[in-house]
Amino acid sequence: MAANNGKPEVKEPTLTYENYLNIEKLLSCLQLRCPKFGKYEHDEHLFITMHQAYELWFRQMIFEVDSIRDILRERPLDETKMLSVNNRTDRIILILKLLLGHLSVLETMFPMSFFNFRDYLSPASGFQSAQFRVFENKVGIKPDDRIQYMKDEYVSQCNPDKQKDILDAVDEETLFQIVERWLEQTHGLEEDGFNFWKRFGEKVEERLKDIKAREEVADADHKPGLKKDFDACKDIFHKVLTEDEYKKLLARKEVRLSHKALQGALMISFYRNETRLQQSFQFLTKLIDVDAYMNKWRYNHLLMVHRMIGAKPGTGGSSGYHYLKATISDKYRIFLDLFNLANYYLPQAFVPELTYNMKAFLSPTGNPN
C-alpha cells in the first residue's frame, strides 16, 4: 500500500469521455414536463434540448466577450493581441449564426404540437434567460433603450440570484464603451499631429465642389440626380463635421459613438490597407457582423413566435408578437454608428493623403514613398 500520511491513497478514476465532460449530469438535465398522453408530447424533447443548447452557447459567448474586453482594456494596448481579438469575435459571429440555424430546427415542430405542451411551461419564458441578458448587456445594450416589458423592469423577470450578474454587466465597461475609448485613441487624430479631422473637412469641401461642378454642366437627365446627391452629402457632412452639430445628434440619440471615436473609426476605414490598421479595420467589420447577427436572431425568433402562437400573449406574460416586434428597432443596434460610417466615405481620390511620417508609422516595414 502506498504511503500517504498513513492513509490509503485514493485512486482517481481513469479519465474518459464520459467523466471528463460530465455527460451523465448533462443529459440528466432534460426532464419532460408534459404528462404523457398519446403522441402529442413528442416535440417537448426538442423544445427543451434546443433551449439547453442555447444556454451552453450563451455561456461560451459571454466567455469570449469577457476576454475581448480584457484585452482591449489593457493600457498600452498590445497590438499583437488584435489577432486574438478578431479570432474570438469571429467565434462569436459563428455561434450567433449557429443560433439562427437552431431556430430552423425548432421550426420543424408544428404549432399544434407546441400547443399540446405549452400550458405546462407557463409562466416560464425565454425572456427570463439571465445569460441572454448578461450577453446583451456586456456587448452594450443600454437599459434606457429597452422596450418596456409589462410595467416591470426586465431584470425583475429573471431569477433573483441572477439579477446581480445582469446589473453588473451594465455597470462594468461594456464592449461598446471599450471600443469607443479605443477608437478615440487612434493615432493621427491629434490636432498638433496629423490632424485627420481637419484634413477630412478640407477634402469634404473639395468633394462637394466637385459634385456641384458636375451638376452645373450636366444635361437635364442627370442634373436632378446630382443636385439630390449634393444636397444629401452637404446635409450629412454638415451634421458630423463640427462637434457642436454632432452633439445634437447625440442628444437626439441618432448616434451613440463620441465625436472623437467616430473620427477614429473613419480614419481606420480610410487607411485600412496600412499594416498597423489592418487588424483594427477587420475588428470594426466584425463588430458590424455581431450587431447584424444579434438582430437577425431577434427577427427570426419573432417570425418563429408568430407562426407558433400567432399574436397571442407569451407564456412570460408579454403581448408576445407585438412586444417582440417592438424590439426590432435601432435601439437594439449596438454598433449602429459603424453601419453609418458608409455615410461619410469619400471616393479614394478624395481621401486625405498620408504624410511621410504617418505613412512610416502606419506601415513601418513598407516603403514610405
As a whole number of angstroms, the distance between CA 129 and CA 203 comes to: 49
- Binds ligand HEM (CB under 6 A): choice among 117, 132, 270, 361: 132
Judged by DSSP in three states, 2 sits in coil
Residue 171 exposure: Cα atoms within 13 Å on the Cβ side: 6
Q: Using an 8 Å Cβ cutoff, are 64 and 92 in contact?
A: yes
Tell me if 361 contacts ligand HEM by CB under 6 A: no
Q: Using an 8 Å Cβ cutoff, are 282 and 84 in contact?
A: no
Tell me if 264 contacts ligand HEM by CB under 6 A: no
Cβ-based nearer residue to ligand HEM, 178 or 305 = 305
Q: Using an 8 Å Cβ cutoff, are 77 and 182 in contact?
A: yes
Tell me if 106 contacts ligand HEM by CB under 6 A: yes
Tell me if 158 contacts ligand HEM by CB under 6 A: no
Q: How many residues bind ligand HEM (CB under 6 A)?
A: 24
353 contacts: CB under 8 Å, gap ≥ 6: none
As a whole number of angstroms, the distance between CA 300 and CA 305 comes to: 9
Cβ-based nearer residue to ligand HEM, 125 or 285 = 125
Cβ-based nearer residue to ligand HEM, 272 or 298 = 298
Tell me if 269 contacts ligand HEM by CB under 6 A: no
Tell me if 135 contacts ligand HEM by CB under 6 A: no
Taking CB under 6 A as the binding criterion, the range among 1-9, 47-55, 209-217, 228-236 that sits at the site for ligand HEM is 47-55
Which residue in 304, 340, 338 sits closest to 139, CA to CA? 338
Taking CB under 6 A as the binding criterion, the range among 32-40, 262-270, 315-323, 350-358 that sits at the site for ligand HEM is 315-323
The secondary structure element, H or E, covering residue 208 is: helix 196-217
Which residue in 340, 338, 311, 309 sits closest to 323, CA to CA? 311
As a whole number of angstroms, the distance between CA 186 and CA 328 comes to: 32
Q: Least separation, in Å, of the C-beta of 116 and ligand HEM? A: 12
Tell me if 328 contacts ligand HEM by CB under 6 A: no
Q: In the window 112-131, what residues touch ligand HEM (CB under 6 A)? A: 114, 125-127, 129
Q: How far is CA 229 from CA 211, 221, 303, 337, in A?
A: 8, 14, 37, 21
Site string for ligand HEM, 270-309 (x = CB under 6 A): -------------------------------x--xx--xx
- Binds ligand HEM (CB under 6 A): choice among 43, 54, 197, 233: 54
Q: 35 preceded by cis ω (within 30°)?
A: no
Taking CB under 6 A as the binding criterion, the range among 17-25, 202-210, 320-328, 351-359 that sits at the site for ligand HEM is 320-328
State whether the Cα torsion 137-312-124-95 is positive or negative.
negative
As a whole number of angstroms, the distance between CA 207 and CA 230 comes to: 9
Cβ-based nearer residue to ligand HEM, 264 or 320 = 320
Q: Least separation, in Å, of the C-beta of 169 and ligand HEM? A: 15
Q: Least separation, in Å, of the C-beta of 304 and ligand HEM? A: 6
Q: Least separation, in Å, of the C-beta of 152 and ligand HEM? A: 12
- Binds ligand HEM (CB under 6 A): choice among 89, 318, 340, 363: 318
Cβ-based nearer residue to ligand HEM, 264 or 314 = 314
Dump strand ranges (E) for the chain. none
**Could you give the dihedral angle defined by the CA atoms of residues 185, 188, 192 and 195, in that order, rounded to the nearest 10 degrees?**
-120
All three cell numbers of 211, joined, read: 459634385
Chain residues in the site for ligand HEM (CB under 6 A): 50-51, 54, 106, 114, 125-127, 129, 132, 301, 304-305, 308-309, 314-318, 320, 323-324, 327
